[in-house]
Amino acid sequence: MFALRLLSIGLLIALSTIFHVLPLLLVAMFKVLLPLPALRRASDPLLTGLAASWIGFNGWMWDRLTDTRLQVQGDGALAPDGHYLVLANHQSWVDILVLQKVFNRRIPLLRFFLKRQLIWVPLLGLAWWALDFPFMGRYTKQQIARNPALAGRDIAATRRACEKFREIPVAIMNFVEGTRFTPAKHARQQSPYRHLLKPKSGGVAFVLDAMGDGLHAILDVTIAYPAGRPSMVDLIGNRIPEVRVSIRQRPIPAELAGGNYQEDRAFRARFQQWMNAVWAEKDADLESLLHGDGSNTGNSRMRPADVATGSSA
């Protein structure tokens, strides 16, 4: 029965993806052929609407085909036409579905910085390209040592993406740890945080610098799985009893919005100090979400998400 469940839900996901992505690509090709930037921008709501519909279907399957409880706090006063930088901890690929379910149609479409190789993912890679997801090289220190010119490419790509994002409602997503949390990575880093890897401040600093006053707020999201870090198979197989999410809406510190992170050592130190303080608070939030009722985190009491149904598996 478990294998049949995985197969049937996997087929639904595949059919929904084809149903939404093919018209999205047709609109994208039409957009490329339009002669004026204003006309090209006019097609953006249709593209994002198709993406929101696909995300909405995934959310419908979550509600109808799993018993996973999704509890969210601190999610008031969100604007679907806002400009946000969204920061989150990262433990599983399930995190992405959680974020999409919590925020779909409540803030602008979440756009992730993706590894350049992901553009070759069948259908989805082209969909991400059509939706203006930025693709990054993410070069290793060894690659940059061999070719120093690579160091500035991702910064330039970030600036190009952010210039485009200034013109549209946007929610820029950043998993600040840079990779999914595992106990092995945590030990290897000797992370000072109980539940988190060390934050990587550079990407956040580049976005704040490039967007300037084009961002309204930071949405600081903490995701907790009280039953343990899950896989996508666990979600599809109805093996996740509960997901808890805390959202803190933070103002953008004016003194950190326009500095030169790369070349100004004093600014870089101040930025890292601020990021570390945010991460320490997130670590405490995560502890509360995992082992309490979450009532001491975020800006409001824990409540079931409006879109969630079901009971513990």
pLDDT for 102 equals 97
- CA separation, residue 141 to residues 146, 147, 215, 271 (Å): 9, 10, 30, 21
- Closest listed residue to residue 274, CA positions, set 175, 205, 174, 191: 205
- CA separation, residue 103 to residues 127, 213, 304 (Å): 19, 22, 14
Cβ atoms of 113 and 85 within 8 Å: the answer is no
Q: How many CA atoms lie within 13 A of 189 on its CB side?
A: 20
pLDDT for 197 equals 97
Helices 265-291 and 201-211 cross at an angle (nearest 10°) of 110
* Range of lowest pLDDT (11-15, 122-126, 216-220, 267-271): 122-126
Quick check: 304 pLDDT over 80? no
Count of beta carbons in the 10 Å neighbourhood of residue 258: 11
* pLDDT band at residue 272 using 50, 70 and 90 as cut-offs: very high
Which value, to the nearest 10 degrees, does the dihedral of the CA atoms of residues 59, 63, 64, 65 take?
Answer: 80
- CA separation, residue 248 to residues 24, 29, 204, 285 (Å): 33, 38, 16, 10
281-295: average pLDDT: 87
**Over the stretch 165-222, which tens digit does the pLDDT of each residue have?**
877 889 999 999 989 999 999 999 999 999 999 999 988 998 888 887 788 899 999 9
pLDDT for 30 equals 85
**Over the stretch 220-249, which tens digit does the pLDDT of each residue have?**
999 999 999 999 999 999 999 999 999 999
Cβ atoms of 196 and 177 within 8 Å: the answer is yes
Beta-sheet pairing, 69-73 with 110-112: unpaired
**Over the stretch 89-138, which tens digit does the pLDDT of each residue have?**
999 999 999 999 999 999 999 998 888 888 888 888 888 888 888 887 76
Quick check: 34 pLDDT over 80? no
* pLDDT band at residue 151 using 50, 70 and 90 as cut-offs: low
Q: Extract the tokens encoding 204.
A: 């956040």
pLDDT for 311 equals 31
Report d(CA 67, CA 309) in Å as an integer: 7
Quick check: 83 pLDDT over 50? yes
Beta-sheet pairing, 83-88 with 110-112: unpaired
pTM of the model: 0.87
Question: What DSSP state is assigned to residue 238?
Answer: T
pLDDT for 138 equals 66
Share of the chain above pLDDT 70, in %: 89
Q: Extract the tokens encoding 296.
A: 């001491």
pLDDT for 285 equals 96
E strands in the chain: 69-73, 83-88, 110-112, 114-115, 135-136, 170-175, 217-224, 242-250, 303-304
Q: How many CA atoms lie within 13 A of 105 on its CB side?
A: 12
